[in-house]
């Protein structure tokens, strides 16, 4: 059975690169991989997601609700939106997890309607419904790593440390080094290893 990975967030947060790094790492280890992501009109300020299936036995690039081994959510409300995809029932908390960046992104509609979406109610809901919830303070982490662009590597590092992905941090780091420009390697390494 493949490991089903769902990465979600808001357009512009670096979700596609995260997905590509996991796929490239699988390729480097001769593990079959399939993926699918949002492209087109939905990208403009909208919710974006990427499905990834690593390992033998996947027919389709997407997977069904209730079958994700891990959700890597770059935004609290997006984690809640995609939660129906998480595996459920009968599993121990070690089997599946949700990694979530606690920093909310206000949609333009929230500013217009004057609603004060803060993400807190989403985190509360996740705490209540997810056995293994890993919170990442993305804003603080980016500040400590020293770049607002480090979020994707910080999230990916946390996901790898959960032990659910079929490779370790060194494997991901090797792929990252082969993918990003030389001047960004140090920052991205720091981000991958960031652990508050």
Partner 1 sequence: MHKEFLMGNAAIARGAMAAGLNVVSGYPGTPSTEVLETAAKFNDGGLYVEWSVNEKAALELAAGAAYSGARTMVTMKQVGLNVASDPLMSLAYIGVKGGMVVLVADDPGPISSQTEQDTRTFAAYSKLPCFDPSSVQEAYDMIQKAFELSEEYHTPVLFRPTTRVCHGYASIDVKDESECKKNTPEGFVRDPSKWVIFPRLSFRAHAEIEKRNRALSELLSDSGLNPVEKGSGKKGIAAHGINYTYVKEALAALGCDVPLFKVGTPFPFPEKAAVEFLQGCDEVLCIEELDPVIERGLTYVCGKFGIGTKVLGKLTGNIPESGENTISSVTKAVAEFLGVKAPEKAVREEPPALPVRPPVLCAGCPHRASFYAVKTAMKGKKSVFCGDIGCYTLGNAMPLDMVDTCLCMGAGVNITQGIGKIEPDTACFAFVGDSTFFASAITGVVNAVYNQADMTLVVLDNSTTAMTGHQPHPGTGRTMMGQVVDKISIENVLRGIGVKTVETVDPLDLKAAVDCVKRVSAEKGVKAIIFKSPCAVLIKSGKPKFIDPAKCKDCKRCIKELGCPGIVIRDGRPAIENALCTGCGLCSRVCPFDAIGGDENAD
Q: Does 77 bind partner 1 (CB under 8 A)?
A: yes
Q: For residues 16 and 153, which CB has a smaller minimum distance to partner 1 in the complex? A: 16
Per CB under 8 A, the list member of 93, 95, 127, 129 interacting with partner 1 is: 129
Q: Does 103 bind partner 1 (CB under 8 A)?
A: no
Q: Does 47 bind partner 1 (CB under 8 A)?
A: yes
Q: For residues 47 and 162, which CB has a smaller minimum distance to partner 1 in the complex? A: 47
Per CB under 8 A, the list member of 17, 61, 131, 190 interacting with partner 1 is: 61
What number of other Cβ atoms are within 10 A of residue 174's Cβ? 14
Strand pairing report for 3-10 and 70-73? parallel
Residue 159 CB, shortest distance to partner 1, in Å, is 19
Strand pairing report for 47-54 and 33-37? antiparallel
Alpha-carbon span 101 to 196, nearest angstrom:
13
Q: Residue numbers of the site for partner 1 (CB under 8 A)?
A: 10, 23-24, 26-27, 30, 32-37, 39-47, 59-66, 77, 80-81, 83-84, 88-89, 106-112, 114-117, 121-122, 125, 128-129, 148
């Amino acid at each position: 059975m493949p490991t089903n990975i769902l990465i979600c967030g808001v357009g512009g947060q670096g979700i596609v690169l995260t997905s590509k790094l996991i796929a490239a790492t699988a390729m480097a280890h001769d593990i079959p991989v399939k993926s699918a992501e949002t492209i087109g009109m939905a990208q403009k300020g909208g919710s974006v997601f990427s499905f990834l299936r690593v390992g033998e036995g996947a027919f389709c690039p997407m997977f069904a609700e209730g079958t994700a081994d891990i959700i890597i959510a770059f935004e609290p409300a997006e984690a809640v939106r995609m939660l129906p995809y998480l595996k459920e029932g009968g599993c121990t908390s070690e089997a599946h997890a949700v990694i979530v960046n606690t920093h909310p992104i206000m949609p333009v509609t929230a500013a217009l309607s004057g609603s004060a979406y803060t993400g807190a109610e989403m985190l509360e809901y996740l705490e209540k419904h997810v056995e293994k919830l890993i919170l990442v303070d993305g804003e603080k982490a980016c500040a400590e790593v020293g770049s607002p662009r480090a979020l994707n590597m910080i999230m990916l590092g946390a996901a790898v440390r959960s032990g659910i992905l079929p490779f370790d941090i060194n494997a991901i780091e090797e792929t990252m080094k082969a993918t990003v420009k030389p001047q960004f390697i140090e920052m991205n390494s720091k981000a991958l290893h960031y652990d508050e």
